[in-house]
Structure 1
């Protein structure tokens, strides 16, 4: 009887507690086009409670029953506030105006800008598309990847290139995704433009090594790009006409307020100018890409998205030589709200990257082909049990098919490789936990598993590095199972300042093999095998964050140390075109450490930021550089960027950017000798020299010709490399014509001065 009474009282008490807590949830949208808004803030100032929308614009917050004033706001939008009498669970969808339509409420603007201070996640950067559109860039083309490089800890892989080095990592150590699909090569025109059309991009998040548990598969960074969903209110057309390419974006409702579409394309036309000359009329040099997206609301709780990207570059020299490469991605996603605290997303994703080099100057003709293809299935739950906890639990599995390199067309060369196949899977859980008003923890655990499947050839080597036998049964070597813990801790000193610390372990099973400073489309992706082990990194970081003058100014300093295992480099005197790539590789360890500074002005006619990074990246590889530590190719100790944007009036906006970077570490020849009339080069220690330092000033002016609710048009004038700095793109050596015993160095520089004008429109 006593036990029954106790059970009854406990249930009654639990019911009473449940009745005291109310859950408010819903979506936040842009009222102009119906797009969901990620990372919007929801604040209940009376209780000092807040939350954010997820990547799909959904939010959920639990609070005691009562009457409260609730604020909704996002960067670039107005503040929406409502007084709600919460006595039962409530679904409340909110629509916000863009900031140029309405004045902002200062109190909530200030609360919004505190997020850099108040959020527990460390190493997270976000890029506003409105900022991207104002910066001066090469030939006037707005570029997400190049804008990212102005942030501390984010470096270009070389002058003009779009390769990205984050906190000492190589270009392959960054996972760049578009609507959750991996984009393996982000370059157009050999790196001078990226594959991402800014007209189609809605949101960009960058995690510098320290990321929540749902991100995995790379050891340096994760760049998460999300495409626009399409205007579900009215049809809209936008685009631009530039000197070497143009773009067009069309979006609109399929069924108003319920479904929409977006189609966005670009095409360069430098090849048309080549046809005007007799010397180059048969050459090819162009790129094109296409983004498309559909979405449909099945109900208030269910929504599906279908998106895709296709892009290709074509380069040819008459009928003798040609190279083309491209990416194809497709994403199908299904969102569901199960109840007021539980949200899920299921994604089926396809990624494909290939390059083909055609050699037609020989008899017979032949081609070099490389390819990587992924099928990925992911299912994730987001659970909001109370105001202090947000949980994510998920499973993901990817089937990889990889052809590292093969020759087609030459019967005497039987190096054409069968595809290698593998399955990479992970289970993860993470929690964003507010212990108190001052202490927040974002922690998680990821369990990753990689196994090679039957198909393709693998090798076993003897001590001299020669093939001892060919392995065709993948049971002969182990799978790779890794635990990847991560934790980020925030202590908020007061409303305007906080300190953070983080630790993260990441593993990587796909590796880009390159013997050049900058990434090229012919660099080869290879998977972990019995010889190539998964890369593992352990990163610790510490930071101090401060806002000043009601968040008008923002300051941050972060320091990090990253220990890396199973690092890859070419052996001395390697032949990097050997299709049995394992024969050319050696393995060891690496380390990267540095300090990042950021000072930013957020308000007023003049805005912008100053970022500076001091860093060091080194490797110690077996049988390379006499087993001594040496500079990694991407080691660039000093990196300075200054960005300024000035709004003169409603017609004119001006911007400028300045960069200064230490030159890349390189290996130069120090001498030569001859053997049987063949010249053999003698090289210095690995990466013992440096390219010249790289610095450049760019400026731009935007003249708004017309701006109404329905129509916008503008002219953008820009000058790339204002003072004509001849930055080194490459340096090559050859025998001196006057002295055969001497070497001469020749520097190749690109884009001394590049003025441009482009016309942008929207209607």
Structure 2
């Protein structure tokens, strides 16, 4: 009996030991209690192991731990912290809802991220802006704008008002990958760059990544702008909207099946053309100038393991000047996604993407009637998986394919037009990629993220291709024609893109981060102007145009002060680029079947220091950013083969943003920005032809002069109306360019009207006045 008792104790002890060694998984979602939206970047902290996890872009988390008793602390800045004790003896699902904190005036915050995320996370060269912050900032004509807001961050610039897109760390506008719910957006601007295509009422999250880019992303050299739409309120009917100086907007979201399915529908339209129709001048009534966009999303939770999403964006700009001229461009995107949980640790996202960017140029004049249409269309299936191996390792991997169709120009004409109908040959390409990436914690001080992306581009027929011969720097002629059939490979470019980042915690409030990225870009924006325009064309890599490639090294120091009330950082970067594209003097870019003969190729480099300081809490919040940088190119056939400054090079770039909450009803904000003027090429001689003086440059220099420095102050005040039952509203009063600075967009040369023998320089300012605006916003 004694032996049996001892054996029983041994078995019990062995079982307890095995149970102690056994591991189980806790997983689920963290959502906003008010509307059911998944919370991106919310944290789960476990004091017993001094570690935890963060939610992904769908609000999902997974943690694997040995059996035992634990305290789980769920947090997101601006929300009430929730603690939950559990006894872990099996796989456990915890669906968490956090309640928004009813902040006093002293607790106003400018970010919804974890308070020490800038120090503790692996991310570097990353900026996130909450829509609540963007909506408080002064805006041109009262239009809250995502793109204009990120231009106030370090390392980001623009060539001026009326310029489409943005530049990051010395790169062109086409070197930024802009995603809306994972679908690429090829032109992010309305009204030639004055406003962005993103309706602020439909946007949930905005993240800009300039370095340390995970292996999941590729296809561009400079940055990733990841914009995520709201999923829709799954709790109750709600809406937001506004009436502004330029446009009005309205969004409605509601549950289809409470806590299971919901939708959001958001629309916006400008109305300058409606006022034109009221004009007594018949010619003015024939004109049009407006934009519109519509964003929609619906989701359905089938069960705990399967959720489906369908989202779309449809936007267009239209300009018309009677019958003389008409022009339009627009983006159409759609994304279908299936989130599937294979197990408590393996999360998958299957995505199908469609994107279509088109533009049209034409005239309705009887003798000159024509319409020129152009498109870039792509379809893309992709799969992304995340395996939460343990609390120290999160493995992500996946694959994607993009099927491109490029339509450079289809011209149709009226019966009596002197133009000829024409169709530029279509181009086709396929881009493939597969990646694996691991985020690993090594001890309490060191974290690594390392991965590998393997990509390839296949340029395909049907197409007749040529080689180009001639003198470098001059137009080359096509020779050696070869014809390829549909689907036949013309040129194939494989590439390996390694990525690695490191975070070394120096203490609880500071860290040193470093990263290396290789990025490859297979499609290119063909533009020889300082600022991109809607009529610029996208061109795939061909047998003559090689893929662009960049290698970027970044080193940064991050430190927080006063219990994360203040955060600061300094980052230095160095980037080299190969196969950069430039153009011969007098290049013909539009409807040119021999375009490749006008292109030149070379290398580039950019380097700089970025300083950032932000105050997160209190009545006064905001940030200061300063960038000291240089961006250069060396192209054979330009500037005698010497290095020259790229067209988006800016030595100094300073931004100051302040938001002051005076009381519960009044808040004030201001932006100040200063930057070195953009570079341009000035002539040193002139020649005359039939009495017309034409300035030109004799020594083959490029970008040898800068326009005057750019600086601007914007101010805004928000008056919160007294809330009514189920209705909140406010008035926003703003002034853009307060002191009416005539910032030079460009400088051009012409004959002096009084003395035609003299050539004069003329400054072109797009907005040389202060611009006031009033906007009424509401939500219900």
Residue from 550, 565, 587 that aligns with 1:552? 565
Structure 2: which 5+ runs fail to align? 1-10
Shift of 1:115: 1.2
Supply the distance in 2 between the matched residues of 1:608 and 1:725 (Cα, whole angstroms). 24
Aligned to 1:53: 55
State the distance in 1 between where 2:457 and 2:666 align.
Answer: 54
Query: Which stretch has the larger CA shift, 300-309 or 12-21?
Result: 12-21
How far apart are the structure 1 equivalents of 2:396 and 2:141? Answer: 42
Residue of structure 2 aligned with 1:721, choices 737, 742, 749: 737
Q: Does 1:613 align with 2:627?
A: yes
Q: Find the counterpart in structure 2 of residue 186 from structure 1.
A: 188
How far the C-alpha of 1:404 sits from its partner, in A, is 2.7
Cα deviation per residue 1:325-370 (whole Å; 9 max; x = unaligned)? 0000000000011111010000000000011110344734223322
- Mapped to 2, the partners of 1:470 and 1:360 lie a distance apart of 38
User: How far apart, in 2, do the equivalents of 1:283 and 1:573 lie?
Assistant: 33
Once the two structures are TM-superposed, the CA of residue 444 in structure 1 deviates from its matched residue by: 0.6
> Structure 1 residues 38, 428: closer, same or farther in 2, change over 3 A?
same
Q: Distance in 1 between matches of 2:378 and 2:144?
A: 29
Deviation for aligned residue 1:538: 0.1
Q: Per-residue deviation at 1:750?
A: 3.0
CA distance, structure 2, for counterparts of residue 454 and residue 650 of structure 1: 63
Q: Determine the structure 2 residue equivalent to 1:144.
A: 146
Aligned equivalents of 1:754 and 1:105: distance in 2? 32
Partners of 1:141 and 1:75 in 2: CA distance: 27
| Residue of structure 2 equivalent to 1:479 | 492
Q: Which runs of 5+ in 1 are unaligned?
A: 1-8
Q: Work out whether 1:418 is the aligned partner of 2:425.
A: yes
Q: Distance in 2 between matches of 1:754 and 1:705?
A: 24
Per-residue Cα deviation, 1:256-297 (whole angstroms, up to 9, x for no partner)? 111011100000001122334426332111000000001000
Given the alignment, which residue of 737, 751, 756 partners 2:753?
Answer: 737
SS in 2 for 1:582: helix
For residue 81 of structure 2, what is the aligned residue in structure 1? Answer: 79
Identify if the C-alpha distance between structure 1 residues 433 and 469 changes in structure 2 by more than 3 Å, giving closer, same or farther.
same
In structure 2, which of residues 453, 462, 472 is the aligned counterpart of residue 446 of structure 1?
A: 453
- Residue range with higher mean Cα deviation, 356-365 or 621-630: 356-365
CA distance in 1, matches of 2:145, 2:360: 26
1:670 matched to 2:677? The reply is no
Distance 2:386 2:481 in 1: 46
Root-mean-square deviation (Å) = 2.3
Residue-by-residue CA offset, 1:64-113 (whole Å, 9 max, x unaligned)? 3222221111233221111122222210010011223799999xx99931
Asked whether the 8 Å contact 2:408–2:425 carries over to 1, the reply is: no
Name the stretch that deviates more: 626-635 or 401-410: 401-410
* Aligned pairs for 1:493-512 within 5 A: 493-512=506-525
Q: Distance in 1 between matches of 2:293 and 2:483?
A: 39
Distance 1:321 1:110 in 2: 47
State TM-score, norm by structure 2. Answer: 0.93
Deviation at 1:323, TM superposition (A): 0.6
2:777 aligned with 1:760? yes
Matched, 1:632 2:630: no
Alignment of 1:530 with 2:538, yes or no, is no
Alignment coverage as a number of residue pairs: 751
Task: Name the SS for the 2:546 alignment partner.
Answer: coil
Q: Is 1:175 matched up with 2:177?
A: yes
**Matched-pair contact (CA < 8 Å) for 1:110–1:551:** no
Residue 314 of structure 2 corresponds to: 310
CA deviation profile, 1:150-191 (whole Å, cap 9, x unmatched): 110111232343421011110000000001000000110111
- Kept after mapping to 1: 8 A contact 2:460/2:491: no
What is the SS of the residue equivalent to 2:174? Answer: helix
Q: Structure 1 pair 254/76, CA: closer, same or farther in 2 (3 Å)?
A: same
The equivalences for 1:310-709 within 5 A come to 310-361=314-365, 363-409=367-413, 413=420, 416-464=423-471, 465-473=476-484, 477-580=490-593, 581-675=595-689, 680-683=694-697, 685-707=701-723
1:3: which partner in 2? none
CA contact (8 A) 1:206 1:222 kept: yes
The structure-2 alpha-carbon separation of the partners of 1:111 and 1:681, relative to structure 1 and needing over 3 Å to count, comes to closer
Looking at structure 2, the residues matched to 379 and 698 of structure 1 have their Cα atoms a distance apart, in angstroms, of: 43
Distance 1:448 1:17 in 2: 45
| Cα contact 2:20–2:67 (8 A) shared by 1 | no
Cα distance change of structure 1 residues 709 and 617 upon mapping to structure 2, 3 Å threshold: farther
Q: CA separation in 2, counterparts of 1:175 and 1:530? A: 24
Q: Give the C-alpha shift of residue 18 in structure 1.
A: 8.2
TM-score normalised by L of structure 1? 0.95
Contact 1:338 1:344 in 2 (8 A): yes
Counterpart in 1 of 2:6? none
- 1:378 shift after superposition: 0.3
